[in-house]
Amino acid sequence: MTSKGNYYKKGKLGTGSYKGIYYSVGKKLTGLTSKGVYYKNGKLGNGVYKDVLYKSGKPFNGTLKDEVYVNGKVDANKTANLVFSNAQAAFNLHEASFKSAQKQVEDLTSLAKKAGVTPAKAASLQVKSATEIQDFIAKYSNTDFKTLSAAELDAFKAELSKCTAEATTNLEAVSKLVNDSTMSLLSAISAMKSFATEEQKAEFTKLTTQANIVIHALKAAGVDTSKLEDALKQTDIKVPEIETPGTGGGTETPGTGTETPGTGGNTGGGNTGGGNTGGGNTGGGNTGGGNTGGGNTGGGNTGGGTVIETPEEVAKKEFESATKALAEKQDAFKEATEQQTSLKAIKDKLDAAQSKTPIEPPVVEGKSAKLIQSDAAPETDAIKAFIDKYKNTNFTGLNPDKVIEFNKEYTAVQKQVTDKLNAAAKDLVTTVSVINKAVEKLTPFATPEQQAAISTALQTSLEAVKAVEEAKVELEGLQDLQNKLKKQAIENAMKVAEAAVKALETNPTQEKIDAAQAAVDALLALDKDYDVKAFNSAIAEAQKLVDAKTEKENIEKATNAVNALFSDENKTVIADSVVQNTINEAKKLVENLKDSQVKTELEGKIISASTQLKKALESLKTGLSTDGQIVVEDANKQIDELFTFQMAGIALVKESESESEKVTAFDRNATGNTLKESKTLTTAQMNEGILATLERINADKLVTLDKKNPPLNIESSQKHGYTVFTVTANNFSKEIFDKLDGNKNNAYLITVNNKVAEGISTKAYKILFQVIDGKVEAKFVESTVNDDKFSIDAATDAVNALFSDDNTLSLDIDEAKISAAKILVDKIKDSQKSKDLSSKLETASKLLVEKEIAELEKGIQADGSLAVKGENLNFDDVFTFQMAGIALDTDNTVTAFSKLITPTNLKEAKTLTTTQMNEGILATLERINAAKPVTLDENDPSLNIVPSQKHGYTVFTVTANNFSKEIFDKLDGPVVTGDGYYTNRYNITVNPKSPSNEAPFILKLSSDNGNVKATFEAKRVKTKQ
């Protein structure tokens, strides 16, 4: 990974997973992989991508927000089925609640008639639960009211008034719910009618018939059902007609429907049948005999096949429905209050702009609206239009006619806003009342999660009632409702606190403790005097356990973090990866520990790491280091991210547009060359360039190349937030380097360019190859370094090596070394430097001549040659030879004799010529070679004396060109007069012809590893060695 988050794999931008993150070409992937997996910022993604919904990287299959997804896309048919199922469940739930509420109102009406009393108008909100109302009905259902005293009858009447008011309010609330759920059901059926199965169509017929009954019941209760009737028509399902409740008869005589229970049992004829609702109210036989009793509700849906829900399930659904409705009512109430505020602001603006006695709109008394429909039927669009029209109006100096027009509009809109606010307030409080009852039902079954939801719902309900109070909407019973809600909230908060504290008994965590404390705090917020000592004690004990565990974990985390700062086992040497932030993070962990010996030790290590880091950073400077490395102030960088390379005679060439660029080596000095050096080579292409260059110039194939092993290696290492690049020549031999070193200046340079826009390059550094102590080494150098510098250095070193001081040549200096230095000097482009070095070469040449002349004057040379002053001399003109056992007869014929034979009359000749000396060797060999084991070539002289000219001297060099080891061994006989051993030499005396040439010299033959050589020696050497 680089510091910018790029992922590299084997030096290239990588694709794949790395440490839980998925990368594509080095970047965190947002999109699809080749296998269709969705990633967002490198992690398995959630959300919509190209119109497909993904969850954990895979197309979502399931339900989300009432929509069914298949392979990430909404399945319209399945969604419609889901919407239908939800709507059907809600409809069945609310229909049952509606019927139950309707029956309570009917039963209370019957009781009133039976008692012969009329319920007095009571507060609309008495906070009577459905159970309490039902208990009241059961209590008086069989009462003979004639036997009651006046006080008892008054008590009954007062209680009746409260129950009637509450039951009526409840009926209005559930009427709204059943109205909405019926609309949802009919809409769902209409949406599915084009693709419904036959079974579903049959179910739709039953449900629309059932919905039709509900619609008529709502209409009878004064609800505007026109939209429901239109929705029913949209289903295209024909339902049995239901007669409008008749006006004839008018009496309360039971209709034709009997009170015999219908086939459905619970909802059949007995409950809703003719006796209770018949006669004038509901009509002759509609509700009693046929629709509700016998067929639809009794026989089919409720009686026959519907799965009966448990009280717990019913309570849960009612609670969920009520809390959802509360949010809607809050929004409506908020909108109404905001509009009222906006209207007041506009009116205040006008008043401020008018005279002291502005024209006031007539006061219209607000009237509370029913839950189902406001008496004023507020026109929201008209209200909004009025506000938008006047909110930015400048009323200063407004024409009086315009003011009158404004007041007229304001009066109408103000009435609508007042009605809307009253209606919304009553809706909101009624819904709160429904929540109050739903909470009563759900509480016995509530799970901890549900208790938390109950707490939220109760708190929201309390806030809603408070908002109604603050809006100054006059509704009776608000205080009783607040008291009941608060009591429920305290009881529920106590249960939530108990559950949260009990959860601390097993595996306590800080999250559990925080949850328990929050629960206790919530309880105290509702009742500051509540005794929570036991709760607090349990929380404190749990906190001790968690603190101990946390401290242990913190010590472990801190220790690991501090140890990670070091690279050695003893944790004393700072790791290269450490930066200041690494130390800071570790320091924070240590600071959070409690005082202890461990903390003290860790603090000491942090101080050590900080000191080492400071010292390391002092030596880390961006740019070129003294060790020939490149340092960049950014971690996790690769060389190809920042730099490109440029090499002499290397181009990138495309043979065709369909192919990628290939590395090509060319001769820059070739006539007609049109190629240009590439400035954007990668590391891999640079290595290819080295190999390509060697192949081009290695025509003799003297150098063997390993193409699989790159010649150059650039490694990146991380050091304290910096990246350090090091270059090494890992496949270079001296022979390979010599091929590249065309200037013979012990330098081969590759340019390193900053990586900028395509086609643009700026030189940053260079790579230098040199031979140091016989090994090829590489390093980064400044961009200003060039071949001329090394040519000057190489020439300077070569010239200086010729001298031990300014006037003295070094040992072993010869003309070849001076010539080699001159070749380097000739390559220098700097004329002054070249002139200076050339002058020193002249001095070296002069000193060499002087040295050589002094050596020539010695006569015998170090290589065994003989120097004689004078040019073009002939050896026989200057010297003669004398050989053991060789004499000249009177006719100068060479004769070999044995000196050991006595007496002899022959004497050794001292004036032998070169030719006679060679004859003497042959004669000697013939004499001692009686067994003929050695073959002689008499036509090829055994010794050649070759003259050469130097500084006015003739230098004679002897070559033994016809000597084998066997011949030499014959000449090198045992010394008889001595100890009988061989000397490994054969001496020939050289006598000067002129006294000026001091003598004698010796021409010595010797054998060395089987090779015979001849040299001059300055004086005679004793025979015994």
Peptide bond into 119 cis (omega under 30): no
Q: Is residue 419 over pLDDT 90?
A: no
Closest CA to 662 of 681, 646, 679: 681
Q: Report the distance separating Cα 210 and Cα 95, nearest Å.
A: 9
Rounded Cα–Cα distance for residues 55 and 37 (Å):
10
Mean pLDDT of 749-763: 79
**Checking DSSP bridges between strand 31-32 and strand 21-24, what pairing results, if any?**
unpaired
Q: Check: CB of residue 55 under 8 Å from CB of residue 71.
A: no
Q: Reply yes or no on whether the pLDDT at 375 is more than 80.
A: no
Q: Amino acid identity, residue 1018?
A: A
Cα–chain-centroid distance for residue 607?
A: 32
Contact 633, 622 (CB under 8 A): yes
Distance CA 495, CA 443 (A): 10
DSSP 3-state assignment of 90?
Answer: helix
pLDDT band at 322; cut points 50, 70, 90? confident
Beta-bridge partner residues of 16: 23
SS3 482: helix
pLDDT of 376 over the 70 cut: no
| Segment 995-1000 mean pLDDT | 63
Spatial contact of 558 and 587, defined as CB atoms under 8 Å apart: no
pLDDT for the residue numbered 309: 65
Average pLDDT over residues 545-574: 91
Greatest mean pLDDT among 54-63, 322-331, 475-484, 644-653 lies in 644-653
Q: For residue 286, what pLDDT band results from cuts at 50, 70 and 90?
A: very low
Length of the chain: 1025
The candidate with the shortest Cα–Cα distance to 420, out of 478, 468, 476, 380, is: 380
Yes or no: say if 894 and 888 are a contact pair by the CB < 8 Å rule: yes
CA 272 to chain centre: 69
- 3 state DSSP class of 864: coil
Instruction: With a cut of 90, say whether residue 607 has pLDDT above it.
Output: yes
Q: State the Cα–Cα distance between residues 723 and 577, nearest whole angstrom.
A: 10
Least confident of 205-214, 220-229, 328-337: 328-337
- pLDDT of res. 759: 58
Name the more confident of 702 and 487. 487
- Type of residue found at 773: D
Q: What pLDDT is stored for residue 558 in this prediction?
A: 95
Which of the pair, 835 or 974, is modelled with greater confidence? 835
If DSSP codes are grouped into helix, strand and coil, which group holds residue 241?
coil
Edge-to-edge strand ranges of the sheet holding 62-64: 62-64, 67-70, 73-74
pLDDT tens string 657-695: 778 888 888 887 777 788 888 888 999 898 888 888 888
On whether the CB atoms of residues 867 and 954 are closer than 8 A, the answer is yes
Tokens (6 digits) for 536: 């607090």
- pLDDT on residue 591: 94
Average pLDDT over residues 233-244: 78
Predicted confidence at residue 241, as pLDDT, reads 76
Quick check: helix, strand or coil at residue 395?
Answer: coil
Beta carbons within 10 angstroms of residue 506's beta carbon? 7
Range of weakest confidence among 192-201, 440-449, 573-582, 834-843: 440-449
Q: What is the pLDDT of residue 1015?
A: 93
Q: Are 788 and 829 in contact (CB under 8 A)?
A: yes
Q: What pLDDT is recorded for position 3? A: 62
> Under DSSP, is residue 586 helix (H, G, I), strand (E, B) or coil?
helix
pLDDT, residue 364, reads: 38
Instruction: For residue 961, give both structure tokens.
Output: 């060109």
Question: 976 and 888 in contact (C-beta within 8 Å)?
Answer: no
Top pLDDT among 609 and 67 is at 609
For 802-833, give one letter per residue: b (16+ CB within 10 A) or e.
Answer: bbeeeeebeeebeeebbeebbebbebbeeeeb
Torsion of CA 1006, 1012, 1014, 1017, to 10 degrees: -20
Alpha carbons 429 and 476: distance in angstroms, whole number: 10
Q: What pLDDT shows up at residue 699?
A: 62
Residue 712 φ/ψ, nearest 5 degrees? -120, 140
Instruction: State the average pLDDT for the chain.
Output: 79
Cα atoms found within 13 Å of the Cα of residue 13, Cβ hemisphere only: 12
For residue 521, give every residue at least 6 positions away whose Cβ sits within 8 Å of its Cβ, in sequence order, or none: none
DSSP-derived letter for residue 942 is: S
> What H or E segment, with its residue span, contains residue 192?
helix 150-192
**Range of 48-52, 92-96, 759-763 with top mean pLDDT:** 48-52
Crossing angle of helices 76-115 and 198-220, in 10° steps, is 30
Give the count of alpha carbons within 13 A of 485, CB side only.
Answer: 28
What per-residue confidence (pLDDT) applies to 544? 92
Name the region of 983 (left: φ>0; alpha: ψ -120 to 50; beta: rest). Answer: alpha
Percent of residues, the chain, with pLDDT higher than 70: 83
Mean pLDDT within 2-6:
68
Pair type for strands 986-992 and 775-782: unpaired
CB 673 within 8 A of CB 666: yes
- Could you report the per-residue pLDDT of 710-745, keeping only the tens digit for each? 888 899 888 888 999 999 988 777 888 888 887 788
Confidence band for 767, pLDDT divided at 50, 70 and 90: very high
| Other Cβ atoms closer than 10 A to 890 | 5
H-helix segments, 771-913: 787-800, 815-826, 831-856, 875-878
At 795, the pLDDT band (50, 70, 90 cuts) reads: confident
pLDDT at 282 > cutoff 90: no
Please give the single-letter amino acid code of residue 18: Y
What torsion do the CA atoms of 606, 607, 611, 612 make, to the nearest 10 degrees? -30
Residue with tokens 């070394």: 817
Strand partners, 752: 645, 765
Percent of residues, the chain, with pLDDT higher than 90:
19
The DSSP bridge partners found for residue 1000 are none
- Cβ neighbours of residue 343 closer than 8 Å, sequence gap 6 or more: 383, 386, 387, 410, 413, 414, 417
Q: What is the pLDDT of residue 937?
A: 67
Confidence of residue 475 (pLDDT cuts 50, 70, 90): confident
* 9-67 tens-digit pLDDT: 766 677 877 777 888 877 888 888 877 888 888 888 888 888 888 888 889 888 876 78
Q: pLDDT of 158-213, one tens digit each?
A: 888 888 887 888 888 888 888 888 988 998 898 887 788 888 888 888 898 988 89
Q: Please, which pLDDT band fits residue 631 given cuts at 50, 70 and 90?
A: very high
Q: 1012 to each of 235, 237, 294, 665, 996, how far by Cα in Å? A: 128, 132, 143, 52, 32
Mean pLDDT to the nearest integer, 925-935:
69
Q: Any alpha helices (H) in 443-532, and if so which ranges?
A: 448-470, 478-502, 510-526
Residue 676, classified by CB atoms within 10 Å of its CB into exposed (0-12), middle (13-18) or buried (19+), is exposed
Segment 98-148, tens digit of pLDDT? 888 888 788 888 888 877 777 766 554 555 667 788 888 888 888 887 788
Name the band, by pLDDT with cuts 50, 70 and 90, for residue 295: very low
Q: What's the confidence (pLDDT) of residue 195?
A: 83
